[in-house]
Structure 1
């Protein structure tokens, strides 16, 4: 991309952080949650989720819901 910026950078992120999140997702065999991604990358949960949702909207990742016994289902991100 021109200027070395990816689309995530245009949305307030940067290429290095996007690569870090991408690596965390691709290394996670059973997918990972935004909280797990945050712990692996050193980002806040909100920032990790922003990058994960960007990858979903761009068609690079998908969300699968994991249902527990109570409460909301967990959103797990998987690289395509």
Structure 2
């Protein structure tokens, strides 16, 4: 997984995190295909925020379910 330009912001700020969190993030990031620790950390934060925001998460789940149902219908697995 690498950076996705359409999800990245042009504006950035710096935050400070405890060393133990940075170490865990570095260990986990090393086991991924992300281009940088920053890209991995941004991905993790966006994923957590999406889970915490029920409106965005619900809309995304519903859109994904609808897309899957439409695809299954087009393949003949579901009746129209």
The answer to whether the superposition gives a TM-score over 0.5 is: no
Specify which structure has the higher proportion of helix: 2
Specify which structure has the higher proportion of strand: 1
TM-score by length of 1: 0.30
Larger radius of gyration: 2
TM-score by length of 2: 0.30
RCO greater where, 1 or 2, for CA within 8 Å and sep 6 or more? Answer: 1
